[in-house]
Amino acid sequence: MTYQKKINLSTKGLTDIIDLTSRVADILTESKIQNGVVIIFITGSTASITTLEYEPNLVKDFQEFIERLIPRDKKYHHDATWGDDNGFSHLRASFLGPCLSIPISKGKMSLGTWQQIILCDFDNHSRKRQVIVKIIGE
């Protein structure tokens, strides 16, 4: 059995981090699937999906870490191609990746106590984003 639903949302860009855990859990409940896997995928090449303890200071730490790792104020070759100055956002998104798979057991995601599903929008402006949630199981 499969079940799929989309989450549409607006982001602020510039390493905006949004907790998707409860939205994905609601979709899982709707699906009535008890065992299997949930796949969370972000469309677009300047955002990613991962897990993190969604706590304000850790969110700040994560944003600062990403800035040190792939700085926004550096010139990237991509910037010369399109003139949109968002080469950093593509690199950040590629580094973390566009999707996440989580096992489902007894109708619940197998997440750790402090583990939340987050969307990271790295683009240099606000965006309308679409997250695809696909559940496969029984």
- pLDDT tens by residue, 110-130: 999 999 999 999 999 999 999
The chain-wide mean pLDDT, for the chain, equals: 97
Q: Full-prediction pTM beyond 0.85? A: yes
Domain ranges of the chain: 2-137
- The C-alpha atoms of residue 17 and residue 24 are separated, in whole angstroms, by 15
- Domain 2-137 matching CATH 3.40.50.720: the answer reads no
Tell me which residue has tokens 């969307």. Answer: 119
Take residue 97 and report the two structure tokens written for it.
């990746």
The sign of the dihedral angle between the CA atoms of 51, 9, 129, 75 is negative
pLDDT band at 55 (very low <50, low <70, confident <90, very high): very high
pLDDT value of position 127: 97
